[in-house]
Structure 1
Amino acid sequence: MADDKAAAADSERGLFLPGTARPLAPPAPVPADMPEQRPQLPAFIAFWRGVPTAISRDAARGGTFLCLPVLLGAGVAAYFALPWEPEALPLVLSLCLLLAVTFLSRDRRILPFISGAVLLILAGALLGKLETWRSSTPMMGSDVTTRITGRLVSLEHQASGRLRLTIDIVATERPRLRYPPARVRLSARAVPEGLAAGDGITGLASLMSPSGPVRPGAYDFSFSSYFNGIGAVGFFLSNPERAAVAADDGVTAGPARWLQAAREGLAARIRHAVPGAEGQVAAAMIVGMRAGIPEPINEWLRRSGLAHILAISGLHMALVAATVMAMARAGAALFPQFAQRVPVKKYAAGAALAFCTLYLFFSGSAVAAQRSYIMLAVMLAALLFDRAAITMRNLAIAALIIIIISPHEVVGPSFQMSFAATAALIAAYAGWTDWRMGRRERGRVPPAGLARNLLRTVLVFAAGLAATSVIAGLATTLFGAWHFQRASPLALPANLAAMPLVSLVAMPAAVLAIFAMPFGLDGFFLSIMGRAIAAVIAIAEWISDRSPIDAVGLMPLPAFLLLTVAFVVAVLSTTRARLLAAPLAVVGFGLLVARELPAVLISEDGRLMGVRTADGGLAVNRARPNGFTMDDWTRALNAKMVVKPLVAGKTAAPEMKSRQFSCVNGLCLIDNPAGHLIAHAENAAAAKPVCETASLIVVDDATASNLCSGSKALVFTKRDLALRGSAAVWLAGPGEARTEFAQAISQPYRPWHTQRQYWRAARGLPPYRRKTGQDQ
């Protein structure tokens, strides 16, 4: 009986004895208020179902505002990437239509967000259109030699010993230009003693139209010149002289002349106190004059990842502000009663803002400096109003201001790299702060103690410096690879070794030198700055000599766009939605790995060709190719070396080779690894013999027409290249349908390329030759 009662009790509890049948327990009653349990979903499906909720949380945390500069910037970039110039009226009408749709659909769930996003993209495109119209820079239509008379705007000393002058044109003669450029940039061997900004100058000068990209997708000199107001470049054929010109009576002319003279005087004082290359670097860091830095030092800094110390950007502005604030707060600490009565931190922020404003003007007010100043001004203003200084919202405000003021900067490397680095650092700092607060809530705070706290401070500083270098370096690598096709593999150790010298010695010494300059005591501080710079240059040289090749090759546009979107999602999101960046990054890297580099690059003047060889070299058809072009091409094609041509004597035909061009009698030939014969000819007559055998022919003759008609050869004449710019060619491989090519300039022309249609080569004319006495 007892056993039966125990078995019954076990049965009620759901237990059973071995060897016995398990009893069926009655189902437990379900409370009426208990929610229905759903089957657990796989993690992947559960994640995707939670994405809309995560996005809503990001929007509630201010993510909507952070998207404003992103969408506006996307619209600006789309406008400048268009192959034609859009009309303003359709843009305005589309903007008004979308504005109405967004307003009328405000009660819907998804439609307002979609229409609002497209509205912002169109607004960005309209901003780009407005800036293009506002610039309207008159560009030089063709190369010409004329005597110019103008007003000096700025004067820079170059490392080669020459001088670079920016001049506002007042008059031209012999010949008198009907449509002269308003501002030109010329080089000269020497200038009159004491020449300063605002003085008149005259001389015989060779004026040239700004060139296009050296390859499709490269830096566009015409684009940059158009938005900088430079209509022509060139050089003086003889040393210029002083000239009497009417004074510029504009409101800002007098202050601008005084400021430029002060900058040049300050640069001269720095170079006198710190002779050599160190003084040139110091002048670049203080007044923004970089032209005098020797090219080997520039290359050491680029290869080591330290070139950012030369551009006056967020780093310099932040160091100047930090130095001024530290000095102000340390000075206030000497008077305890004063420091207790007043908000010293706000006064220090105000002093830092005032000094950074002065630094902005004396550094030349370059666009990078303007952007950095706006970012810093927003953060210091936040301190003045008791708000958090380093936030993603403040960064978004600074980006909005810059996009509205200077939209074309959105597509430049400076804008993209500085904002990418700052956004990544803010996101990382926010994550670290959340982790640290959570650690404190869990009670994992180390005990206090002088030695322990001192050691912790040193370790935190070193770890912070390393983390800053890693985060900023990774964030800017994408944009550096896209714009410059290079990445610095040893940037981390270089920055760890050099940045303490810049942050703790060079820039504080520069600030103290400025304060001491009115008393004539700046030489001591400038000498300290020079020694710190000398150590930085030594580090850069040592790292550069041991760095592997830093070229990464061309990045496909789809890969760049996907990786950029992945980066934006990762740094702006604060929820699990940031995981959406992972598949985008994977696809972007996949496209990068699967890329196909061009087989041939052709310069826009038709004189230079570069062909990839089987051993990873770049074969060129000229014994002395342009250095800037070669540097760009070798990085773009990831080439290990440049192979000069074999120039034989005048024989019947050149000997074809697969590793280098063989040039004879105006015809250069090379057989590329895929078996294609590639030719460069000086004129149509030299090209005729290879019309039936060559796959690609470049003719350095603008008068050539209907060349090799009926053959399968792809032919570029000098006129074709003058009209549509440099070219990249992907030669058809075995089993492929046809050869593909791309050119740098699209037609109809954008405003910064319209001058090309007036080039002599674009009109099918031979080079201009001055008539001699026999010709007359």
Structure 2
Amino acid sequence: MGGKLAIAESDERAQFAVGTQTPEAEDATQGILVSPARPAHAPVAARIHGLVAPLGKRLNADMRAALSREAARGTLFLWLPVLLGSGALAYFALPVEPPAYAIVCGLLALALVAFLAAGKPLLRGAVLAALIVLLGLACAKVESWRTGTPMLGADVTTRLTARVISIEHRANGRFRLTVDVVSTRRPQLRYAPARARLSARSIPAGLRPGDGIEGLVRLMTPSGPVRPHAYDFSFESYFDGLGAVGFFMRDPEPVEIEPLPGARQWVQRMSSSLQGLRESLAARLRERVGGAEGEVAAALITGMRGGIPEAYNEDLRRAGLAHVLAISGLHMALAAFTIIGAARLGFAVFPGFSSRHPVRKYAAAAALLVCFFYLLVSGSGVAAQRSFLMLAVMLLALLFDRAALTMRNLAVAALAVIITTPHEVVGPGFQMSFSATAALIAGYAAWNAHREKRLARKPYVERRGAAKLIHLVLLSIGGIALTSLIAGTATTLYGVWHFQRASPLALGANLAAMPVVSLVVMPSAVAAIATMPLNLDGWPLAVMGWGISTVMSIARWFSERTPIDATGAIPLGATLSLTAALVVLTMTTTRLRIAALPFLAMGFFLIATRSLPDVLISEDARLVAVRTQDGALAVNRKRPNAFSLENWLRAEGTETVRKPDGLSSASTAELIARASAHHFLCNDAICVLRHESGAIIGHVRKTDAAMPRRSFRELCGAADLVVINDARIDRPCGADGAQTITARDLARRGSAEIRIERKGRDALLFNIAYAISEPHRPWHEQRQFSRAARGLGPYKRTRNAPEEAKKHQQN
């Protein structure tokens, strides 16, 4: 009764703001949320405020306490690469190139505000976060400016003299060469690329990196995305330093070239020696292991995956085992642990020496050297760089008797990659590698915390005999299953975003295959490399080949039983929302993880309400695909480009393709009258299809004598959308005719996807999204120099071209 009176007195003092609370009342009200009493006639809003205000204060207090705990645990540092990477992503997503002066002014302004807001921690924290994001954008800007790859503007045939940088054996028996261009002639290119990647049917015997070659080549500009948000070959080529791709029209010939001057010659020799070592290792692995298994062995050690048969790659992808071929944390860790285990076992033979010396540090140093060697011979991919950096930090911590914090190691590795190569942030390698690692670290940290609490309640009981063996087996299986589940869940988002595919049976495939990879394939690979100088690598490579064959059998078994793995394209907003949820879940350790729920809900909502494109158009204007009412993809060519079509099928989430029907003698009016919603109808010049919305979609293949002017007028008058494979025509249907897209539009802005909406009873709205924005970013600037982008037709050589050139020069 006294307690109730004390509460009432406290409420009354709070209402009228008189007096102070007594100690008895303070004790009685501790831990109880009390709202001030209000008259019965008080407004409803005031009553609601009286109920909500204490909850808001409690929530604010909990939030501050959680932030304090996060700061005390050092997790705020983990957000540094997240913010820096967000800035890099923002730079590459911008539709126009940001000026350098604007970035510098923004950095200075934010730094000044952060300095002036020293007494306001929340404001200063927000400004510092914005400053880090802008720093990430600045890093990306600097990389783009520093790279400055000269790109080929238009396709051309020329005679090329070049220096070989690398040689890669392909599964089809051809070779892919990366070369530095020395000179061109017939014609001599005014704006020649500095580096190109060329394929050849055969190469001169004994050709090695650093040698010179010469031959007639067809050089082409790197293509853009096959649809908006798809993989951009032009972007990757720009940052890889490749200004052109192409092929030798005849077998290349060896030629003597002048050596590079000064230090460049030394760097080139070192690079050529390393590349030669990679190719020698790959050749020996192919020879000793043999068959497709030899190609897989070469990929696991040297990173050269070009020789793996496509059937093997497809089996691994469908089974969810494609990560086995990507040299990443798994491979680096297994190599390091194999070396550490072998070294400790060797030191155990000499107990006297081991007792006097820090053999654990010696083993860690040996593992660090082996991992660095592995990084070099593997090609130094993004996943390999991240893995090496993390392992290097951990092994250095062992050398200096320091504890290694794994999530902090991941943040350091991410910072190193983002600062040095910001463009990797937008690629699948960076996203899948770091998301999987972060999820695994956070997942096992949560599991260890749960295990410690359980052991505190119930002490561990030592098992013996068969019970101990069964427990170890079950623990190993559970660990593999948990690892596959966590990593697979984290990377599925980016697999769907970049490749529009998911592996429903990945968990079972990983449970079956990963013990073979961990216990057989990688340890035998390390043993083979160690014994190769002594020519004793026969038995390790035989064991490695058996392990690879077993893994491929598992992949094939699961691949044959995997249903369609095409998921369809997902919206960019969904990817960003789910990424934010993943970041919050993995980076936070307190109740702040609840903040991931809104992002999860938003991401899944956007996926559930997504709309797939109705029409897809290739960047060369030759291929058009329309999604039919039953979900199939109708195309306008009987032999469509395989790469584009496969990507479009995955984006639409289907495997059904409908080829066109040919009506060569039909007129334009007859084709339009008989237009089908099931497939294209084509004559010699045009193809037409009736979309489920009622829209007539036409594609003009030829604009010469096969397409008379009258037929053009008929098509423009009856069709709603016309795609024209001719860059010389501008607005052929006029302002009131059909919506037109010409080859010139696509040459400048890349491939397109269209969503058709009906406005009212008769009007149709075409929402056109192009893959490339204008004005062009640095990696797309070369597009404006192509013949199609300038409104010119394909180049045709004439017999009297030399005479005409002489007359032009004389005049």
Same topology, TM > 0.5: yes
Give the counterpart of 1:704 among 714, 729, 734.
729
Structure 2 unaligned runs (5+)?
5-21, 35-50, 804-811
Give SS of 1:680's match.
strand
Deviates more, 1:730-739 or 1:700-709: 730-739
- Is 1:31 the counterpart of 2:7? The answer is no
Q: Does 1:479 align with 2:494?
A: yes
CA distance in 1 between counterparts of 2:433 and 2:715 reads 50
- What is the letter of the counterpart of residue 202 of structure 2? A
Is 1:746 equivalent to 2:773 in the alignment? yes
Q: Distance in 2 between matches of 1:712 and 1:565?
A: 45
Amino acid in structure 2 at the alignment position of 1:741: I
One-letter amino acid of the counterpart of residue 33, structure 2: P
Report deviation, 1:35: 6.1
Relative to structure 1, the CA distance from residue 629 to residue 562 in structure 2 (aligned partners, 3 Å threshold; closer, same or farther) is same
- Residue 656 of structure 1 contacts residue 670 of structure 1 at CA under 8 Å; is this kept in 2? yes
- Residues 339-378 of structure 1 correspond to what in structure 2 (within 5 A)? 339-378=354-393
What letter matches 1:161 in structure 2? G
Deviates more, 1:762-771 or 1:428-437: 428-437
Matches within 5 A, 1:25-424: 31=24, 34=27, 36-37=29-30, 38-39=32-33, 50-249=62-261, 250=264, 251-389=266-404, 391-424=406-439
1:595 and 2:588 are equivalent in the alignment: no
Given that 1:332 and 1:344 are in contact with CA atoms closer than 8 Å, whether structure 2 keeps it comes out as: yes
Does the CA-based 8 Å contact 1:687-1:699 persist in structure 2?
no
- Residue 30 of structure 1: how far off its partner (Å): 6.9
Deviates more, 1:369-378 or 1:499-508: 369-378
C-alpha separation in 1, matches of 2:25 and 2:664: 101
The residue that corresponds to 1:648 in the other structure is 663
Kept in 1: contact 2:759–2:765 (CA 8 A):
no
DSSP-derived class of the 1:688 partner? helix
Counterpart CA distance in 1 for 2:444 and 2:731 is 63
Contact 1:135 1:229 in 2 (8 A): yes
Normalized against structure 2, the TM-score is what? 0.90
Q: Tell me how far apart the structure 2 counterparts of residues 695 and 48 of structure 1 sit (CA, whole Å).
A: 57
Q: Distance in 2 between matches of 1:642 and 1:525?
A: 46
Local SS of the residue matching 1:203: strand
Name the CA shift for 1:233/1:181 in 2 (closer, same or farther; >3 Å): same
Q: C-alpha distance in 2, partners of 1:612/1:743?
A: 18
> Offset at 1:615?
1.5
State the shift of 1:770 in Å: 1.1
Which secondary structure state, in structure 1, belongs to the residue aligned with residue 171 of structure 2? coil
Aligned to 1:761: 788
Corresponding residue for residue 490 of structure 1: 505
SS at match of 2:213: strand
Paired position in structure 2 for 1:720: 745
Matched to 1:300, the amino acid is D
Q: Which amino acid aligns with 1:329?
A: R
Counterpart AA for 2:416: I
Question: Greater shift after overlay, 227-236 or 646-655?
Answer: 646-655
Whether the 8 Å CA contact 1:704–1:717 is kept in 2: the answer is yes
- Aligned with 2:159: secondary structure? strand
Is the 8 Å Cα contact of residues 756 and 764 (structure 2) preserved in structure 1? no
Report what 1:770 is aligned to: 797
1:460-507 deviations in Å (ceiling 9; x for gaps)? 111111100000000001111111111111110011111111111001
| 8 Å contact from structure 2 (residues 315, 555) kept in 1 | yes
Q: Which has the higher helix share?
A: 2
Residue type matched to 2:784 in 1?
Answer: Q
Deviations 1:283-318 (A, max 9, x none): 000111111111111111111111111111222111
- Structure-2 change in CA distance of 1:648 and 1:450 (3 Å): same
- Counterpart selection for 2:688 from 669, 691, 699: 669
The aligned amino acid for 2:226 is V
In structure 1, C-alpha distance between the alignment counterparts of 2:60 and 2:126, rounded to whole Å: 20
TM-aligned CA distance change 1:304 to 1:48, over 3 Å = farther
Q: Which moved more, 1:415-424 or 1:447-456?
A: 447-456
Matches within 5 A, 1:539-550: 539-550=554-565
Residue aligning to 1:439: 454
**Closer/same/farther in 2, CA of residues 104 and 450 from structure 1, 3 Å limit:** farther
Instruction: Note if 1:514 corresponds to 2:526.
Output: no
Q: Match of 1:589, as an amino acid? A: F
- Please state if 1:733 is matched with 2:745: no
1:693 equivalent among 714, 718, 736: 718
Q: SS where residue 167 of structure 2 aligns?
A: strand
Q: Residue 751 of structure 1 aligns to which amino acid in structure 2?
A: P
In the other structure, the counterpart of 1:681 is 700
Distance 1:35 1:547, change over 3 A: same
- Contact 1:680-1:687 within 8 A present in 2 as well: no
Partner Cα distance (1:621, 1:467) in 2: 47
Shift of 1:510: 0.4
Q: Is the 8 A contact 1:657 1:670 kept in 2?
A: yes
Contact persistence 1:687–1:697 (CA under 8 A): no
The CA distance in 2 between the partners of 1:63 and 1:737, in whole Å, is: 52
> Which residue type is aligned with residue 468 of structure 1?
T
Quote the offset at 1:329 in angstroms: 1.6
Change beyond 3 A, Cα 1:172–1:47: same
Residue 121 of structure 2: SS of its match in structure 1?
A: coil
- CA deviation digits over 1:71-103, x for unaligned, max 9? 000000000100011111110111011111112
Judge conservation of contact 2:386–2:417 (CA < 8 Å) in 1.
Answer: yes
Counterpart in 1 of 2:632? 617
Shift of 1:737: 6.7
1:524-543 maps to which residues of 2 (within 5 A)? 524-543=539-558
CA RMSD in angstroms, aligned pairs only: 2.1
Q: Which amino acid aligns with 2:733?
A: C
Q: What amino acid sits opposite 1:676 in the alignment?
A: A
Q: Tell me, what secondary structure is at the counterpart of 1:611? A: strand
> 2 CA distance for matches of 1:331 and 1:774?
75
Verify the 8 A CA contact 1:667 1:687 in the aligned structure 2: no
SS of 1:252's equivalent in the other structure is helix
Contact conserved, 2:364 with 2:399, CA < 8 A, in 1?
Answer: yes
Partner of 1:576: 591
- Cα drift, residue 448 of structure 1: 4.2
TM-score calculated relative to the size of structure 1 = 0.94
Q: Deviations over 1:362-390 (max 9, x none)?
A: 11223332232222212222222333435
State the shift of 1:457 in Å: 2.1
Deviations 1:671-722 (A, max 9, x none): 1222211111124545432212222110000011121113352210000000
Partner residue of 2:676?
Answer: 657
Q: Is the 8 A contact 2:731 2:740 kept in 1?
A: no
Aligned 8 A contact 1:148 1:202 in 2: yes
Whole-Å separation in 2 of the counterparts to 1:763 and 1:289: 39
Is this contact kept in 2: 1:288–1:363, CA < 8 A? yes
Identical-residue share of aligned pairs (%)? 53
Q: For 1:6-49, what per-residue CA distance to the aligned partner results, in whole angstroms no more than 9, with x for missing partners?
A: xxxxx99x9xxxxxxxxxxxxxx973662634337899866576
Report Cα offsets for 1:716-740 as digits up to 9, x if no partner: 0000000100001001136487221
